[in-house]
Amino acid sequence: MAYGAHHSPTPPRPDLGLARDCEQCLGWGTVITRDGNHELCDTCQPDTDGDAPPPDAPAGRGLSG
């Protein structure tokens, strides 16, 4: 087992525009927790649970044709 390995093979993708002036994550948009998890910064990144797309996402097509 490798020490310090990430729990997820792909780190979260932050919005770097929001992270630009953040003092908590220093502009990275992500932080490493004390447990070694790579997570979005609570200070500058919005808390989304995956239910709705971001406001700047392109509109998708509906299935009801």
Instruction: Return the residue matching tokens 């992270």.
Output: 19
pLDDT at 46: 87
Give CB contacts under 8 A, 24+ apart, made by 18-25: 18/44, 18/45, 18/46, 19/44, 19/45
Does residue 55 belong to any structural domain of this protein? no
Q: 9 in a domain, yes or no?
A: yes
- Residue 38's SS3 state is strand
How does strand 30-32 pair with strand 38-40?
Answer: antiparallel
Q: Is 35 part of any domain?
A: yes
Domain that holds residue 7: 1-45
The residue with greater pLDDT, 63 or 12, is 12
b/e map 31-59, b = 16+ CB within 10 Å: beeeeeeebbbeebbeeeeeeeeeeeeee
Summarised one tens digit per residue, pLDDT across range 6-61 is 556 677 899 999 999 999 999 999 999 999 988 999 999 987 655 455 555 555 45
Asked, for residue 56, whether it belongs to a domain, the answer is no
